[in-house]
Amino acid sequence: MLLDHASPAAICPLRLSGWLVLLMSLGACHAKPPTAGNPNATAPFAVEHLQAASTANERRFDGQVEAVNETQISAQTNGTVAAWLQDVGQRVAAGSVVVRLRSAERRAGALQAEAALREASAAAVEAANRFGRITEMHARQVVPKATLDSATAAHEAAQARLAAARAGVDAAREGLAYTQVTAPYSAVITSRQVRLGETVASGTPLFTLLATEALRVSVDLPADAAEAVRSTGHAVLLLPSGPLTLAPSTVFPVLDPASGSRRIRFTLPTNISGPLTGPLTGLLPGAHITVGVPGAATTQLSVPLSAIIERDEITAVYVWEPQQGRTRLRQVRLGVLRGERREVLAGVSVGDQIAVDTALALQQVRLEQAQAPAGTAP
C-alpha cells in the first residue's frame, strides 16, 4: 500500500514504533489540505530528477562452481596398499607421494632386469675385446675375412642385447615406481576409494584430487538463452560479493537431447587461491551461483542507494513536491540491485524529485512540521 496522500482512516491506526519521526513524515491524521505553491520551487536539499532508463532484462539460471582440475587417480600396477602418507582434506604438492603400494612381482622384476643388464654388459665387453683382437689379426693377415665377419656380428649382437637389457631395467624401474602413487599437481585430496591393506589391480581408483586455485561455473541454458550469451559475448554471475560480468570460456556445440539445454562454462579469475581473498571470497567447488543472461531491453526507474530508507517492513524515499513546497516520505517497492542503484517497481514516477541524502531530507521534514500552523498535525 502506498502511504503518500493516504486517508486519515488508513494511517491513524498505525502502531507507533521506535522511529515515530519517520512515520510522522508520511502525513498527519488531520493535515491541512495542500495549497498550490510555486511550481518551480527549488528543493532545499540535493535531489535527483527521475528519468526512465532503458535496461536489459536478465533471465536467471542456476549454475554450479566446479574445479578446472579434478582428477581421480588410479593404480597403474597390481599390489597391496601399504601406506597412506596423506589423508582427505590435506593439500599435497605436485609430485609428492600419497599412497605406497607393496608389489613383490614388481620388485622381483626389477631385480631380474638388473641382473640381465649385468650379464649383457659382461657379454658386450667380451665381444668387444674379441672383435678388437680379430680386427688387429686380420690387419696383419693372420686370420681370414670370415673370422673377422663373425667377430663383427658377435660384437654387434652383444651391443644389441646390452641395449635391450638397459631398456628392460628402465621398464622394470618404471613399473616399480608405480608402487608409489604421486599427485600430478598441487591440490587437495577430496576422497579415498581404498583402505590400508586392500589389494588393488591396475586401474583401481585410489583417491581424488581437486585444485581450488582454478575454478569455473557451469550452467545449462535453454537454447535461446545460450544463443543470447553467445551473441552478446557475456553473462553476469551473481556472486556473494556482487555481480561479475564474464565472457564464456566454453560453449558446448550440441544440445542435451533429454532437456534441450546447452552447457556453457565461465572460467573465474584466479584471485581466489590461497586464503580465498578478493572479490570472489567464499567460492568453493560445489557451490551454486546464479547466472544472469541478457534479455530484451525494458524501460525502468532506479534510485541511488543513498536515497533509500528501510525500517522494519517499510521501504521508502523522500520526495520533494515543488507544487506544495514540501517534502514527503513515499513508500516504494524495489527491484534488483544494479551497481550503486536499485530498481524501483512502484511508488514513484518519471519527473519525481528524489532526495539523495536522507539525513538532510529528514531535517527538512522536521523543519516543515515545526513551521506548520497551529491546529495542524506537526
In whole angstroms, give the CA distance from residue 81 to residue 193: 11
271-297 per-position pLDDT tens digit: 543 333 344 556 788 888 899 887 766
What domain range includes position 137?
72-210
Claim to verify: residue 150 and residue 86 sit in the same structural domain: yes
190: which 3 cell numbers?
577430496
Q: What is the pLDDT of residue 329?
A: 82
**Domain contains 353:** yes
In the predicted structure, residue 257 carries a pLDDT above the cut 80: yes
The model's confidence at residue 265, banded by pLDDT at 50, 70 and 90, is very high
Claim to verify: residue 80 and residue 191 sit in the same structural domain: yes
Q: What is the pLDDT of residue 209?
A: 92
Q: What is the DSSP string of 69-129?
A: -EEEEE-SS-EEEEEE-S-TT-EE-TT-EEEEEE-HHHHHHHHHHHHHHHHHHHHHHHHHH
**Domain contains 115:** yes
**Domain contains 376:** no
8 Å CB contact between 234 and 291: no
**Domain contains 274:** yes
In the predicted structure, residue 170 carries a pLDDT above the cut 80: yes
Q: What is the CATH number for 245?
A: 2.40.30.170
In whole angstroms, give the CA distance from residue 6 to residue 14: 12
Max CA pair span of the chain = 144
Claim to verify: residue 85 and residue 47 sit in the same structural domain: no
Q: How many domains does the chain have?
A: 3
Q: What is the pLDDT of residue 193?
A: 92
Q: What number of residues does the chain have? A: 378
Work out the end-to-end distance of the chain between its first and last CA atoms, rounded to an integer number of angstroms. Answer: 23
Q: Which domain-ending residue is among 210, 231, 254?
A: 210
**Domain contains 375:** no
In whole angstroms, give the CA distance from residue 223 to residue 221: 6
The model's confidence at residue 221, banded by pLDDT at 50, 70 and 90, is very high
Q: What residue has cell string 584430487?
A: 209
One-letter amino acid of 332? V
Claim to verify: residue 64 and residue 78 sit in the same structural domain: no
In the predicted structure, residue 10 carries a pLDDT above the cut 60: no
Least confident of 27-41, 64-78, 234-248, 356-370: 27-41
In whole angstroms, give the CA distance from residue 303 to residue 372: 29
In whole angstroms, give the CA distance from residue 279 to residue 90: 25
The model's confidence at residue 55, banded by pLDDT at 50, 70 and 90, is low
Claim to verify: residue 302 and residue 292 sit in the same structural domain: no
Q: What is the pLDDT of residue 280?
A: 53
In whole angstroms, give the CA distance from residue 120 to residue 158: 7
pTM given for the model: 0.53
Q: What is the pLDDT of residue 40?
A: 59
In the predicted structure, residue 249 carries a pLDDT above the cut 70: yes
